[in-house]
Amino acid sequence: MAHSLVFGGTFDPIHHGHLITAQAARQELAADEVILIPAFISPHKLDRHAASGADRLAMARLATQGVPGFRVYPGEVERGGPSFTIDTLETLVRADPQRTLTLLLGADQLPQFHHWHRIDDILALVQVAIMGRPNVPLSFQTLQETLGHPVATRLAGCILPTPLVEISATAIRARVAAGEPIHFLVPPTVEAYIREHGLYGGSLKAEGSRQ
């Protein structure tokens, strides 16, 4: 039975931290693929989208073009409106009922997880795996304090030993706005897209030029 990891986010922009941790999760869980899902409007980041849904979708596609085991799902951007995870998961299950789905969560998302729309349905529909984040405590105690004992008990065995990559989309946007280089933080195709479309209020110079 095929096994897909569902990895959603704003990806504003997608960067190597996203890709490195997702690939590590795929290897750890022996999954067939990672499905990257750019949100149109994240219910938890209603005022924090610097690039349009179309731009973030395009960058996700560029970042994974030709990369085995990765594909990009455009459904949330195409659907528009707030992007509720349960809606997307139900759509993916209907499209392929035989496929096993595991939802990837960053540890930084856990404090809000119990507020997610229809969380009980999410937990009933798919497995959940947790990826660590730099400077974010991750233990059974923190899970219990954040999510309560029943959910913490279920998720405690789902913590993945993924790399703690200290790359931040917020920091990347700030560097672009300041005209500072972002080489090695994002794939070259994403850097080129940001430059060509003038994203994030900056003016990136071509790779190899003096900054």
Percent of all residues in the chain with a pLDDT value above 70, rounded to a whole number: 92
Q: Burial of 22 by CB count in 10 Å (0-12 exposed, 13-18 middle, 19+ buried)?
A: buried
Nearest in space to 117 (alpha carbons), one of 39, 18, 36: 39
Per-residue pLDDT band at 210 (split at 50, 70, 90)? very low
Cα–Cα distance, 100 to 3 (Å, whole number)? 5
Per-residue pLDDT tens over the stretch 112-128: 887 899 988 999 999 99
Cα–Cα distance, 56 to 77 (Å, whole number)? 9
Per-residue pLDDT band at 90 (split at 50, 70, 90)? very high
Residue entry with tokens 């790399």: 163
CA distance readout (Å), 147 to 30, 60, 83, 139, 190: 27, 30, 22, 12, 36
Residue 200, φ and ψ in degrees, nearest 5:
65, 20
Per-residue pLDDT tens over the stretch 20-65: 999 999 999 999 999 999 999 876 665 556 899 999 999 999 999 9
What are the structural domains of the chain?
3-165 (3.40.50.620)
Q: Please state the pTM of the whole predicted model.
A: 0.89
- Those residues whose C-beta lies under 8 Å from the C-beta of residue 104, and which sit 6 or more positions away, are 5, 6, 7, 22, 25, 34, 129, 130, 131
